[in-house]
Amino acid sequence: MKEIKILSGTNCQNCELLYQVVSEIVKRKGIDAKVEKVVDIQEVLKYGVMTTPVLVVDGEVKHVGTPIPAPQKIEELIGG
Amino acid sequence: MFEIYERFADLVVYNLLGLQKGMHLAEALHFFVYDTLKIFTLLTVIIFVVSFIRSFFPLEKTREILSKHKAVALPLAAFLGILTPFCSCSAVPMFIGFVEAGIPLGAAFTFLVASPMVNEVALGLLLTLFGVKVAVLYVIFGVIVAIVAGYVIEKLNPRELIADYVFQVKLGQTQIKEMTFKERLEFAKNNVKEILGKIWIYIIIAIGIGGFIHGYVPQDIVERVAKTAGLIAVPLAVLIGIPLYSNAAGILPVIQALIAKGVPLGTALAFMMATTALSFPEFMILKQIMKPKLIAFFAGIVGISIIAVGYLFNFIFTL
């Protein structure tokens, strides 16, 4: 099972959007994955990034910052 | 450069609609058609170019550059603040990241001011509506305000007003990939789409209001109001600007029409700087890491600097 994390800032609209798009793709494609949103700042900083949102798949940073990629691109990044 | 749009507006208003030159409605419509075309063309180009340049300066790289040049941290932070794309929701990680890298606190504040203050949409609109001189002065004054704010806060020695955990967090290994040229173009294109997608409706409405003012509001009334408001106009503009965060796009075309009717330019500029540099959402985010007192200092210093710039601008442009 894949572990997908969306690292988010507080009060960050794009982070919320990315989380929803990823969740929807996982559901629609039936990908075997756990999608989790991480808002805890100390947890976020462990990945060495300061720009949100961050897409992490199985511990690997796949995308950082805005604009968030198109859904097809996100699908590719998740590897569904 | 925009003669073709001028001709197009002439064609639509005078030939297609058959309106007479000098009529209120004709003047208003002509302003609307011409300005809409001009503003959207320039915004597209400017957001694209600025985004492309910005793709070279992610926040993580900015941190690295600043940590290597601590002696000139303040001016460098102001300069990089302009080039680094930055969402106020990243303010907390940015702060911690900078502190961890040993970058002076003042520089972190300078960055925090410069990044939103000098933004591509505002720059594009200023260039479109008021010309190169105003746009350049906007950048220069933006940098000065950011440096002053950082310097004063550094002197206040705000260490004890910042949450302890900021100084304890350890950042993980940075794993940001370099973009290819094609990815940068893609990034810039997506930015244009995203930003214009967000603001186009505000701009259209604002141009509509601007067109109305242009065509229907008599010049002497505006001049009289501007004169009566006089000195309080600048601080007032800053106060009104704070809750209107990030809607500079929806205000500038209105202001342009007002300026054409006699409102001083510095007042307008102070207003716009306040909309982008001071915002309640950002204060709420900063509350996670700093005491309200420090946020108040921060807002106060930036606010006062912007008011000073407003007066200075009014002074320069009435000489």
Which residues, in sequence order, are bridge partners of residue A64? Answer: A54
Alpha carbons within 13 angstroms on the beta-carbon side of residue B16 total 10
pLDDT band at A26, cuts 50/70/90?
A: very high
Write the single-letter amino acid at B99: V
Per-residue pLDDT tens over the stretch B169-228: 888 776 677 889 999 999 999 999 988 998 899 889 989 998 898 888 888 888 888 778
The pLDDT mean for chain B works out to: 88
A46 Cβ under 8 Å from any chain B Cβ: yes
Residue B178 located in a structural domain: no
The answer to whether the CB atoms of B176 and A12 lie below 8 A apart is no
Residues 6+ apart with CB under 8 A from B252: B122, B125, B126, B129, B206, B268, B272
A44:B193 CB<8 A:
no
Question: Mean pLDDT throughout B137-161?
Answer: 92
Phi first, then psi: give them for residue B283, nearest 5 degrees. Answer: -60, -40
B246 pLDDT above the threshold of 70: no
How far does the CA of residue A32 sit from the closest CA of chain B (Å)? 25
Q: Does B60 touch chain A (CB under 8 A)?
A: yes
User: In this predicted complex, what is the ipTM?
Assistant: 0.82
Residue B83: inside a domain: yes
Looking at per-residue confidence, does B60 or B317 come out higher?
B60
Residue-wise pLDDT tens digits, A28-59: 988 899 999 998 888 888 888 888 899 999 98
Helix (H, G, I), strand (E, B) or coil at B208: helix
DSSP B162: B
* Residue B13 per-residue DSSP state: I
Report d(CA B224, CA B228) in Å as an integer.
Answer: 6
Contacts of B187 in chain A (CB under 8 A): 67
Q: Do B285 and A61 count as a contact with CB atoms less than 8 A apart?
A: no
| Dist. CA B205–CA B208, nearest whole Å | 5
**Residue B72 in domain:** yes
pLDDT given at position B245: 62
Pairing of strands A54-57, A2-7: antiparallel
State the pLDDT at residue B154: 92
- For chain B, positions 288-307, list CB contacts with chain A under 8 A: 288
Range of the domain at B139: 2-173+184-318
CA atoms of B7 and B293, how far apart (whole Å):
55
Q: How many domains does chain B have?
A: 1
Within a 10 A sphere around the Cβ of B28, how many other Cβ atoms?
A: 21
Q: A45 vs B281: CB contact, 8 Å cut-off?
A: no
pLDDT for B12 beyond 70? yes
At residue B175, the pLDDT reads: 65
Domain membership of residue B179 (yes or no) is: no
Average pLDDT on B100-113 reads: 93
Residue B254 lies in a domain: yes
Number of H helices, E strands in chain A: 3, 4
CA gap B175, B187 in Å, rounded: 19
pLDDT at A3: 92
**pTM higher than 0.90, yes or no?**
no
Residue B238 · residue B271 · CB < 8 Å:
yes
